[in-house]
Amino acid sequence: MRVIERSRADATWGFGVVLADGGLQQLAAADPESFSAIEACLHWIPRQVFTVHDEDIPIDKIRSGGAIGRLRLLQILQAACRQAGVALQFETHVSDLDVFDDCDVVVAADGSNSLVRERFAKHFRTATRLLTNRFAWFGANRTFDASHITFKTISGGALCGHYYTYAPDRSTFVMECDAPTWDALGLEEKTDTERRQITQSFFAEELGHADLIENNSIWRRFPAITTARWHHDRFVLIGDALRTAHFSIGSGTRMALEDAIALADALTCGLSRDAAFECYAQTRRAPMEKLARAAEGSFDWYERFSEKLKSRTPGEFALSFLRRTGRISDERMLRDFPTFIAHARASGAAGLPASDGFPAGGQHV
């Protein structure tokens, strides 16, 4: 068995990723050693804060989990491969699928620009929606005491910073803006470095007046990718090659790990190759569709968020954020988000779920 990777062993793009508890539990059951190694490196995130118009709104943290550097995660997974006798072949760019002619099974884990998916696009029935928001993935040489989502209103639009600490001295900082803001700031004509300088200036206080760190920090539009079919001949798709999960729901890495676990289980339980591929697809389809619906609700909410900011109070804006994936019913909000509800109620937000003693609509004394 071999893994072919175009990059160096110690290269990655981006910074840290969040791994939530659900995905970690599946990993703990499938590969306890890798789980322990990952768990030992996780930087636990104690709370979440949503900031709008300089008002901090606490969002109750309902799931545990933590963040890890992407490079550290890769090193742990590479060590697990070596221990299992898998040959790792780095700095090898695959441009022709003929190199796999001698293989029984080819697992295409080649990311959102998957060559395998593109080569058999008609068969896989791929659909791609390029979102209109722009984002770039940076690092920051400082730590934060919470996971933050901060919205800054600027002339002509708004910016959003998603940031959290993933190592003792390092944080992830994803900068995002919608299309009207991109135009208002004239970012299309700028270089990536100029875009960083312009956008980070609005977060100078949060960044302690330091520069954001770049690592392939290209400003991009997110491709929301889905595929109807999951395998073709000897090729089977997993992770971002199969479908992307918008970064605002922080689940892409978890989904890739869960795909790999389900595929490994199917391939080692005595089925023929094609039956194993089908078994993998059946196991993963329902959770994937559930996540796709949540991701769609989330990225639709983020598209043109500057417009929503104009017409809502901070509490109402935060309320619509919590409802964006359709997963949080009023009942669940009252049960799992008491700090948020108390804060929003105190600030007079309209549209809050009704509860005993409090009418819906945010009346307070």
Among 65, 157, 161, 250, binds ligand FAD (CB under 6 A): 250
Q: Taking the complex as a whole, how short is the minimal distance between the CB of residue 344 and ligand FAD, in angstroms? A: 26
Q: Taking the complex as a whole, how short is the minimal distance between the CB of residue 174 and ligand FAD, in angstroms? A: 5
Part in contact with ligand FAD (CB under 6 A); list of ranges 193-201, 202-210, 239-247, 316-324: 239-247
Does 49 engage in binding with ligand FAD (CB under 6 A)?
no
Q: Taking the complex as a whole, how short is the minimal distance between the CB of residue 352 and ligand FAD, in angstroms? A: 29
- Nearest-angstrom CA–CA distance, 246 and 163: 15
> For the chain, what's the residue count?
365
- In terms of CB distance, is 243 or 324 closer to ligand FAD? 243
Among 167, 177, 256, 333, binds ligand FAD (CB under 6 A): 256
State the maximum Cα–Cα separation within the chain, in Å, rounded to a whole number: 74
Does 6 engage in binding with ligand FAD (CB under 6 A)?
yes
Query: What mask of x and - would describe binding to ligand FAD in positions 158 to 177, judged by CB under 6 A?
Result: ----------------x---
Q: Determine the angle formed by the axes of helices 32-41 and 21-30, rounding to 10 degrees.
A: 140
Q: Is 158 helix (H, G, I), strand (E, B) or coil?
A: strand
Does 116 engage in binding with ligand FAD (CB under 6 A)?
no
CB within 8 Å of 230: residues ≥ 6 apart: 124, 236, 237, 242, 277, 280, 281, 284
| Phi (first) and psi of residue 224, to 5 degrees | -85, 105
Total residues at interface with ligand FAD (CB under 6 A)? 26
- In terms of CB distance, is 181 or 349 closer to ligand FAD? 181
Write out the H or E segment, with its range, that includes residue 193: helix 192-201
Q: Taking the complex as a whole, how short is the minimal distance between the CB of residue 143 and ligand FAD, in angstroms? A: 17
Does 284 engage in binding with ligand FAD (CB under 6 A)?
no
Part in contact with ligand FAD (CB under 6 A); list of ranges 1-9, 313-321, 339-347, 353-361: 1-9
User: Is 242 within 8 Å of 154 (Cβ atoms)?
Assistant: no
Does 4 engage in binding with ligand FAD (CB under 6 A)?
yes
| Phi (first) and psi of residue 305, to 5 degrees | -70, -25
- Nearest-angstrom CA–CA distance, 232 and 235: 5
| Phi (first) and psi of residue 162, to 5 degrees | -110, 115
Residues 77-106 that bind ligand FAD (CB under 6 A): 93-94
Positions of E strands within 1-93: 2-4, 16-20, 43-44, 48-52, 55-59, 65-69, 87-89
- Nearest-angstrom CA–CA distance, 352 and 345: 7
Does 247 engage in binding with ligand FAD (CB under 6 A)?
yes
DSSP H helical ranges for 64-106: 70-83
- Nearest-angstrom CA–CA distance, 252 and 295: 10
Does 117 engage in binding with ligand FAD (CB under 6 A)?
no
Does 31 engage in binding with ligand FAD (CB under 6 A)?
no
- In terms of CB distance, is 84 or 365 closer to ligand FAD? 84
Query: What mask of x and - would describe binding to ligand FAD in positions 189 to 228, judged by CB under 6 A?
Result: ----------------------------------------
Q: Which residues of the shown chain bind ligand FAD in the complex (CB under 6 A)? A: 4-7, 14, 17-18, 93-94, 109-111, 115, 137, 174, 239-241, 245, 247, 250-254, 256
